[in-house]
């Protein structure tokens, strides 16, 4: 029962309730970030012609799917590297994230208070979200194949490398850079990525012509 579970935690039993509540809140937050994709898909399809609705919805779903896969295969281990030169860390598959602690504070300490896989799914949602601003910016002016390639590069390399500069203990973190709730690492990165794509593609042809 519950008492036996507490005993199994050993030195961590005193804070088992805190750990559990923290983990539940992390998963709820990950679900809320996931719902952001629904919001992006809605606003972006609302700003485009009806014939492009399926296209914009597919782009948002593609980013979510490819973001999860690439973050597991490469991104997570490059986003949060161990010792690296501050600019680039070679990624690798995630492996067993709970090997160091499982349902104890062995992973991340009291500061994180979550399991390894809980941390992964929360950050994977942000990895996908960082690129979700781009579909709305390039709507009706880019081929689907070109966008898919851009999205893969963005969520696999761009976001994780730039994010490691702060969250992975890179050169920005060494300079004392402060990021509030992903405002720079996630949202500014997505905005600048969208701006770069727009500068290359130019305006939507014929959208504002009578």
Cβ-contact 201, 140 below 8 angstroms: no
Lowest mean pLDDT among 57-66, 102-111, 168-177: 102-111
Instruction: List CB contacts of 141: < 8 A, sequence separation 6 or more.
Output: 201, 202, 203, 204, 205
Indicate the pTM of the whole model.
0.84
> Which band of pLDDT confidence, cut at 50, 70 and 90, is reported for residue 210?
low
Q: How far is CA 209 from CA 51, 147, 202, 206, in A?
A: 18, 25, 15, 5
123-132: per-residue pLDDT in tens? Answer: 999 998 888 8
């Amino acid at each position: 029962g519950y008492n036996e579970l507490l005993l199994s935690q050993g030195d961590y039993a005193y804070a088992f309730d805190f750990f559990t509540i923290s983990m539940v809140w992390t998963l709820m937050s990950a679900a809320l970030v996931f719902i952001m994709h629904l919001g992006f898909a809605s606003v972006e399809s609302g700003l485009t012609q009806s014939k492009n609705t399926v296209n914009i919805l597919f782009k948002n779903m593609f980013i979510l799917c490819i973001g999860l896969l690439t973050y597991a295969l490469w991104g997570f281990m490059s986003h949060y590297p161990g010792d690296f030169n501050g600019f680039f860390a070679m990624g690798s598959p995630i492996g067993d994230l709970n090997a160091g602690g499982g349902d104890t504070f062995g992973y991340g300490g009291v500061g994180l208070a979550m399991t390894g896989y809980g941390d992964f799914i929360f950050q994977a949602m942000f990895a996908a979200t960082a690129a979700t601003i781009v579909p709305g910016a390039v709507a009706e002016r880019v081929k689907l194949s070109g966008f898919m390639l851009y999205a893969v590069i963005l969520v696999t390399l761009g976001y994780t490398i730039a994010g490691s500069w702060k969250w992975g203990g890179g050169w920005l973190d060494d300079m004392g850079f402060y990021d509030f709730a992903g405002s720079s690492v996630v949202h500014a990165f997505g905005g600048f990525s969208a701006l770069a794509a727009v500068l290359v593609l130019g305006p939507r042809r014929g959208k504002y012509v009578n």
